[in-house]
Every structure is written in structure tokens, then in C-alpha cells.
């Protein structure tokens, strides 16, 4: 099955009771048993729920994996991955990553005796210096948030395999429409399904997809034992969102390209960070591991002035000033004061998250309206 068919049919079957084409929302906590232990495969909805299962099968299908797991948020999914580790274990992570991931690693799991190294991975061989016998996980985000750095998943995966380390990739920005990390050698793919997979800014959810049965069993155990699951209504919404992922992504990419080019030619703009530009330092890697470049773009203005950036985001009308990304509507954010506010200033500036940086999630509105909105806000 090709990708555009998988998003609609992958892992899905029609409802057994009445043939409903969409899976019913099984809003139930428990399931009748005829005699203790005899049931139709479902006992309690923390462990399994048919609507969630339909979604988990879709996650697996679109990432070309064998096993999918749904969680109550992207961070709950990341949390489940870190729970595979023990005190004394070490993790090598990208240094330019989602602020909430950084907070989870440093403010929660560091206190449980897990050591994190945050490093630049644009050159994958940088990782080797941080690998030792305690290293159990490499955590990669690509493209990175918000600097749009690109990391060579295949190159990182060969380092991980040589050292017997798990490789997890946060694929939230790219989505499986653009990039399929399991095919490139990753062991775990993670999503904030809150973003492009849901696609309509109306549900918070997380996803994991893996190929290895033992790893899947460990993660299912954690999902059930820790209990950070999502409800059936939210599962239904994300499943519905996935059915249009390919057409939405196609338009996100078209609009993203037009906005990136407009910004790059604007006299008030200093830098535009978008992997589609030939001048992007890892453009060739992006071209080889992604099928297009997406609708996430960051830029800075000349003079790097905090107040200018605030003025621009306030003046935007079609773009809404808001956290988050990946919905049908265009959003603008100011990472230094919003998504990355939890990262200390010196730390965030090291990775390029300076005061004038603005991040755009380019939506699927008419491109003329998006460009006109940016034009008036910049002027």
C-alpha cells in the first residue's frame, strides 16, 4: 500500500457490529466477561480500547512500523521512552530540541539518576565522543525546533547500531509524509500527534511506533503500568486527522516554500531557517531523507531586537500568535518568550534562539493572504 492510501486505510477494518466505516467511539471503561477471564479481547480501557487500537494501528501503518502506541500527549510518549532506562544510564540528545522535552529530561529524569548530554548533531560523528558503556539512548529531533537543523538519521543510526544503543526520533515536524525514520534505521519514532497528525489544533496526543516486538512489549507494559493513555474521543479525532495528512502536508509544503522565499527576499529579514534552501548547511541531507521541506520556518530580523519581534507577532492578523504548530491555520510564535522560555537565555542563545527569532507554522490558507499578512506586519 502506498502512503496516500495508508493514511486512509492502513491498519483499519470496518466495524464488526454494523459495518460502520469509521471506528465507533467506544466510550467505555470496562467490558463484559462471560466467565472470569473470558472476553472478546478487551478487559479495561487503560489496557486496551478498540478506538485507541484502531488509531495505534494507523500510527504503525503510516510510519511503516509494526507496533503503534498512543499516549495522552507527546510528552507522555517521550516519558514512556525514558522509562525504559535505569539510574546510571546515559542519553545523548540533540541540543536544539523542543523545550518541553528538555524540561522533562533535566527537571525530572536527571533527578532519577539518568544523565543527559545535549550536543549539536548536525555532524553525526560528534555523537561518538559522548558514547560510553552506560549510553542507552540517542534522542534525535529533525528538523529541530525551532532552528530547523537537519540531522542525518542514517548516520546516527549506524553509530547507535555499532554501540548497541536505541535510537529514538521525534518526527513531529516532518511527519511520515516527509520522512520515515524507521526506514532510515531508527528504533523508535515519536510524535506529538497534537501537531500535524491531529492537524486541526483540537486535541493533545502522543504516539510511538516501533518494529521490534520486545521493545513494543516493554513500551506497552509501561503504557499500561504508568497509565498515560488517551481517551477514545481523542483517538477518533486524531484518526480522522490522519486521513487527510497527505493533502494537508502537500499544501503546507507549497505554502511553506512560498513564505520562505518571500522572507528570504525581504530587506528587513536577517536569516531564514528552512531546510529547502540550497544555502541551508544540511540541505543535501534534508533532500536525501525528506521528500519535501514542510511548512515550519524560523527567521530573525535585522538588528536582532526583542521589541521588533514582539511588534511583528502582534501585528499579524491571518497568522495567530500562539504556541503549537501543525494545524490547518497559520500560527506565529516567539520562541524566546514562549516555547523556549523554560530554557535559560545563555543556553538557548548558544543554539540560535535569539531575541528576534520568530517561528512560523505555515497553514493551508490561500498563499496570497499569508504573504500580504507578513508584508504588512514587517512594514
Ligand X SMILES: *Cc1c(COP(=O)(O)O)cnc(C)c1O
Q: Segment near ligand X (CB under 6 A), from 67-75, 129-137, 176-184, 239-247?
A: 67-75
CB-wise, 61 or 101, nearer to ligand X? 101
Are 174 and 185 in contact, with CB atoms under 8 Å apart?
A: no
In whole angstroms, how far apart are CA 91 and each of 2, 37, 86, 109? 35, 40, 11, 11
User: Which of 202, 194, 197 is closest to 72 using CA atoms?
Assistant: 194
Q: Going residue by residue from 296 to 335, which x/- string records binding to ligand X, judged by CB under 6 A?
A: ----------------------------------------
Catalytic residue set:
46, 98, 170, 195
Beta bridge partners of 119: 94
- Judged by beta carbon, residue 23 or residue 146, the one nearer ligand X is 146
Which residues have CB under 8 Å from 336's CB, separation 6+? Answer: 306, 309, 345, 348, 353, 354, 355, 357
Farthest-apart Cα atoms in the chain, separation: 74
Q: Which three cell numbers stand for residue 317?
A: 492578523
User: Closer to ligand X at the Cβ: 194 or 351?
Assistant: 194
Burial-class residue 188 by CB neighbours within 10 Å (0-12, 13-18, 19+).
buried
Asked if residue 192 binds ligand X (CB under 6 A), the reply is: yes
Stretch that binds ligand X, among 192-200, 210-218, 302-310, 348-356 (CB under 6 A): 192-200
User: By C-beta, is 77 or 269 nearer to ligand X?
Assistant: 77
> Does 95 help bind ligand X (rule: CB under 6 A)?
no
Q: Residue 360 pairs with which residues in a beta bridge?
A: 297, 332
Cα separation, 250 vs 277, in Å, equals 18
**Which of the residues 335 through 354 are near ligand X (CB under 6 A)?**
none
- Interface with ligand X includes 172 (CB under 6 A)? yes
Decide if residue 171 touches ligand X (CB under 6 A).
no
Contact track, ligand X, 73-92, x by CB under 6 A: xxx-----------------
Contact call for residues 159 and 127 (beta carbons, < 8 A) = yes
Q: Which is nearer to ligand X, 327 or 378 (CB)?
A: 327
Strand 358-361 vs strand 135-141: parallel, antiparallel, or unpaired? unpaired
State in angstroms the smallest separation of the CB of 371 from ligand X.
Answer: 25
Task: Answer yes or no whether residue 294 interacts with ligand X by CB under 6 A.
Answer: no
Residues 198-257 that bind ligand X (CB under 6 A): 204, 206
Residue whose C-beta lies closest to ligand X: 74
Which of these ranges, 41-49, 96-104, 278-286, 348-356, lies near ligand X under the rule CB under 6 A? 96-104
Cα gap 51→64, rounded to integer Å: 20
Q: How far is the CB of 86 from ligand X (least distance, A)?
A: 23
Which run of H or E residues covers position 376? helix 367-378
The piece of 95-103, 207-215, 312-320, 329-337 that touches ligand X (CB under 6 A) is: 95-103
Least distance between ligand X and beta carbon 278 (Å): 25
Taking a C-beta distance cutoff of 8 angstroms, is the pair 57, 68 a contact?
yes
Contacts of 333 (CB under 8 A, 6+ apart): 146, 313, 321, 322, 323, 325, 339, 358, 359, 360, 361
Binding-site size for ligand X (CB under 6 A) equals: 16
100 binds ligand X (CB under 6 A): yes
Q: Which residues bind ligand X (CB under 6 A)?
A: 73-75, 98, 100-101, 141, 145, 170, 172-173, 192, 194-195, 204, 206
Amino acid at each position: 500500500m502506498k502512503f496516500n492510501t495508508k493514511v486512509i486505510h492502513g491498519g483499519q477494518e470496518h466495524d464488526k457490529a454494523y459495518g460502520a466505516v469509521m471506528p465507533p467511539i467506544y466510550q467505555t471503561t470496562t467490558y463484559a466477561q462471560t466467565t472470569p477471564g473470558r472476553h472478546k479481547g478487551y478487559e479495561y480501557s487503560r489496557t486496551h480500547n478498540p478506538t485507541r487500537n484502531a488509531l495505534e494501528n494507523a500510527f504503525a501503518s503510516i510510519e511503516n512500523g509494526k507496533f503503534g502506541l498512543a499516549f495522552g500527549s507527546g510528552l507522555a510518549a517521550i516519558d514512556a521512552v525514558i522509562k525504559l532506562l535505569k539510574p546510571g544510564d546515559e542519553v545523548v540528545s540533540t541540543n536544539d530540541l523542543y523545550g518541553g522535552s528538555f524540561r522533562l529530561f533535566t527537571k525530572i529524569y536527571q533527578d532519577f539518576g539518568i544523565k543527559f548530554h545535549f550536543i549539536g548533531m548536525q555532524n553525526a560523528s560528534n555523537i561518538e565522543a559522548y558514547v560510553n558503556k552506560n549510553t542507552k539512548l540517542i534522542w534525535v529531533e529533525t528538523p529541530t525546533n525551532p532552528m530547523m537543523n537537519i540531522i542525518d538519521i542514517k548516520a546516527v543510526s549506524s553509530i547507535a547500531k555499532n554501540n548497541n544503543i536505541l535510537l529514538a526520533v521525534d518526527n513531529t515536524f516532518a511527519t511520515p509524509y516527509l520522512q520515515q525514520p524507521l526506514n532510515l534505521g531508527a528504533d523508535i519514532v515519536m510524535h506529538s500527534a497534537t501537531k500535524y497528525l491531529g492537524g486541526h489544533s483540537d486535541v493533545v496526543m502522543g504516539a510511538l511506533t516501533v518494529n521490534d516486538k520486545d521493545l513494543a512489549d516493554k513500551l506497552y507494559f509501561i503504557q499500561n503500568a504508568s497509565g498515560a493513555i488517551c481517551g477514545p474521543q481523542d483517538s477518533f479525532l486524531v484518526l480522522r486527522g490522519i486521513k487527510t495528512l497527505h493533502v494537508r502536508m502537500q499544501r503546507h509544503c507549497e505554502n511553506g516554500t512560498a513564505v520562505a522565499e518571500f522572507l528570504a527576499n525581504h530587506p528587513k529579514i536577517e536569516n531564514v531557517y528552512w531546510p529547502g534552501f540550497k544555502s541551508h548547511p544540511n540541505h543535501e541531507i534534508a533532500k536525501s531523507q525528506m521528500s519535501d521541506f514542510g511548512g515550519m520556518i524560523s527567521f530573525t530580523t535585522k538588528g536582532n531586537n526583542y521589541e521588533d519581534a514582539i511588534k511583528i507577532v502582534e501585528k499579524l492578523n491571518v497568522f495567530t500568535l500562539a504556541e503549537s504548530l501543525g494545524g490547518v491555520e497559520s500560527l506565529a510564535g516567539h520562541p524566546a518568550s514562549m516555547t523556549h522560555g523554560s530554557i535559560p537565555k545563555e543556553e538557548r542563545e548558544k543554539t540560535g534562539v535569539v531575541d528576534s527569532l520568530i517561528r512560523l507554522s505555515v497553514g493551508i490558507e490561500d498563499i496570497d493572504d499569508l504573504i500580504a499578512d507578513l508584508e504588512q506586519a514587517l512594514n
